[in-house]
Each structure stands twice: as structure tokens, then as C-alpha cells.
Structure 1
Amino acid sequence: MIKAVIFDLDGLLINSEPIWKRVEIDVFSRHGMPVTEEDLMQSVGLRIDEVIMYWAQYFNVEVERDEIQAEVLSKMQEAIIKEGLANKMPGVDEVCAYLQDEQIPMAVASSSHLALIQTAVEVLGLKKYIRVIYSAEFESHGKPHPGVFLAAADYLRVDPLQCLVLEDSVNGMIAAKAARMACIVVPAKDEMDRPEWGLADGVIPSLEGLMELVENLEQ
């Protein structure tokens, strides 16, 4: 039986992946890492510090990680405040209202920094629904390590086996399954047919189709 739901943030609650790509391409290119949108698909779901070092190694350049990270996070904070509400994903309000009516507690557990998660939750108008906000920045490893989800479950005081994770990335799905949690993925349209989703407990094109799947999982 599902007793708690843990949401990812980027690409699930908010269509922020295009914003991340825009910011990363801009900032990284000025630090010797000329990534493309296609390149950045390889680092979706990782923490920003991990993304920076991944591409620094790829391009064989020495970088000031903390400086680049601060620049990216500052630009993302501005963008979320300005563009966040317009990029809320379909079905978010309906799902949160449904879970609240069912008295199922909710958390957001993301690879993004805590300040960004908090800003997004506030801008999207979800603060009234979300009991726990947790960031992988406080873990020794980001996704696909399960730590971020296990910590969120601990703060919710719910057994991981009774948690449902909603994700949109392969790394996030792997993290959820490694935490022994049920996982439903909501991929981008051009990723619906990825074979990796076979590991998930369900695949839906939008959060609007979630309620029926949750009811089936509880049976």
C-alpha cells in the first residue's frame, strides 16, 4: 500500500530542463566546455557539481567548479522566479490535490540545490501540499544513488517499501528502485519508448494519468 509519494522536480513538476540546458550551454561554453543540447542529455538527473565535473573531464579542461556552480545556480534562480509558473507541468495541481484528499503525505526530492527546490515549490504554488523538501546536495552521492529518496522517506517517517517515487529520468528511476520504492516514470515525449523504462512500475505520458495507476498499485 502506498503511504507516501516522493516527487522529483525538474522535468516532472516543472518543465525546467530547457531552462537548465540554456543556462548550462551559456555558462559552460564560457569556461571551455562547448556542450550542446544533445550532449546534455547524458547528464540529466545528476547534481550540478557532478554535471560540471563530468563535462570538464569530457573536454579535458581544468575548471573552478564552485565558481561555475554559483553562476549556474544564480541564473537558474532568476529564471525559475521569472518563468517557473508558466512552465508548470500538466496535472500537477490535480495530483497534489488528490493525494492531499487521500491523506497521502508528499515530498520533493531532487538533485537540484535546496534553494532552487524551495523557490520552485513556492513559485508553483505547491507549498501547501509538500511536507518534506530534500536535496541530493546533502548526500555523498547524487542519483542514481538512492540516498536522496531514502532520506526523504526517513523525514516523512514512512517505510521505503511503502513509498511511490515519480520520476522523469533514468538516473532517478534507478535511484528509486535501488531504494526499494515503487516508481512511475513520466518521460519527455521523445523518450517514451526508451527500453530502460522496463524497470519502472508504470510509464505515463503526463501526471494527468497518475491517479488510476496509483489506485492499481494499491490493490
Structure 2
Amino acid sequence: MVSLEKYDAVIFDMDGVLIDSEPLWKIAMEETFREVGCNLVKQDFQKTSGMRIDEVVAYWYNHVGWGGATQKEVENRIIQRMITLIEENGKPLTGVVETLNFLKHSEKRIGLGTSSYSILMAAVLQTLNLEDAFHFVHSAEHEHYGKPHPAVYLTVADKLGVHPVKCLVIEDSLNGIIAGKAAKMSVVCIPEKTHHPEPKLIVADYRYDSMMEFFLEISR
């Protein structure tokens, strides 16, 4: 059972935590990779879950390869498709708004640390009407390394003015959990529903089936 009294800040991942964007990512990537001749399917993308999109594209270029379009062109196509899908389909996962409101009234510092690019982060926050929900938001786009490197979370903690050990991270992917643990933070795992069961997620400090379950526990 998580005790919020131990923490001064809560830092959220975005994809699969605030918004059910993993299926949208898989649609955007599957369509775009097919256009350049790579017949990847949704299950393949579990291998790159939690990575920055440039790292995802580089991974598949190195493992499968394609001709014609550059990696940057493929990356940009995926991003533009994602923005459209977010604007058309984006909504907060159940329990997200309640959790954010509770944390705000509990006077916790609230941060967002995502592997997604800033342009996608902005699209999600605007579509979900969460632009004012966080004290600081940050994309790993601005770090030398993305998750599982802890840089994005360490930057958020620094900007929030909170020591890492007093931060609680909410994540859905193994790469994100590793990033949070490497930053010396405690980690809540709420597994993304389209992932296959991943035994390694047990490395998280706490696990819940949904954000609503997490909210109901912390608000008792």
C-alpha cells in the first residue's frame, strides 16, 4: 500500500498513464512502417515501448531496415499521424482527473516526464484539458538519453525542487520503471492494457490495475 505522506512530489509518465495512447502509437507506427516497406505488427512494438520515437525508428531501421525515406522522415510521419489520432480520439484514462485533483488539493508537487516529443506532449495536454494540471512538464527529447536512462525524471525532480527520493513516479512500461528506479525514486506501475503480461514489471515498488484503483487507495 502506497503512503503519500512519504512523498513531496508525484511524477507521471504520459503515454499509457494519462492517455490510452499506446494503441494509437501502434496504429501510427504500423501504417508508417508499412508505407516504407516494413511489415511490422502491433505485437512487435512491445519491444520498443517507453522509448523515444527517434530511438524506436532507429531500432527498427537497424533490425529490419528500409530504403527511400530517411529515419527522420519516418519519424516525422509517425508524429504527424499521432497528432491527428490524439486530436480525434484522445481522452484521459479513468481516474486520471480525479487523481490529479486529489494531488493538487493535497499540495503535492506534480510533474510530467515523458518519452514523447514536446509537440505530442502539448497535443495530449490540450486535448485532455490538462494544460494547468502540472507544475512542470518535460520531454526526454531535451535529454541526451531517453528512458530507461533516468535523466528525464531527474530533470523534473530538480525543476520541482524535490529530492528524487521524495518523488513517486507513475509508469506503465518496463523502460519507464527502470528510469524511475535508476533516479532513486519510488515507482507505481499501472500496466498498459495492450501489453502482454510482463513479469519484469515486478521491479516496481507498487502495482495497480488502473489509475482509478490507485486513486481510491490514496484518497481513503
TM-based fold match above 0.5: yes
> What residue number does 1:27 align with?
32
> What residue number does 1:67 align with?
73
Return the offset for 1:6. 0.6
TM-score for the superposition, normalised by structure 1? 0.92
Alignment check: 8 A CA contact 1:32 1:59 kept: no
TM-score for the superposition, normalised by structure 2? 0.92
Residue identity in the other structure for 1:132: F
Alignment check: 8 A CA contact 1:4 1:163 kept: yes
Percent of aligned pairs with the same residue? Answer: 35
> What residue number does 1:166 align with?
170
Which of 194, 197, 200 matches 2:198? 194
> What residue number does 1:11 align with?
16
The answer on 1:94 being equivalent to 2:98 is yes
The answer on 1:124 being equivalent to 2:120 is no
Alignment check: 8 A CA contact 2:52 2:115 kept: yes
The answer on 1:137 being equivalent to 2:137 is no
> What residue number does 2:44 align with?
39
TM-align CA RMSD: 1.8
The separation in 1 between residues aligned to 2:136 and 2:38, in whole angstroms, is 35
Alignment check: 8 A CA contact 1:110 1:148 kept: yes
> What residue number does 2:3 align with?
none
Aligned residues: 214
Return the offset for 1:61. 3.4
Structure 2 counterpart SS, 1:198: helix
The separation in 1 between residues aligned to 2:75 and 2:135, in whole angstroms, is 28
Structure 1 counterpart SS, 2:135: strand
Residue identity in the other structure for 1:129: A
Alignment check: 8 A CA contact 2:8 2:167 kept: yes
Structure 2: gaps (5+ residues): 1-5
The separation in 2 between residues aligned to 1:22 and 1:115, in whole angstroms, is 18
Name the CA shift for 1:97/1:192 in 2 (closer, same or farther; >3 Å). farther
Alignment check: 8 A CA contact 1:2 1:164 kept: yes
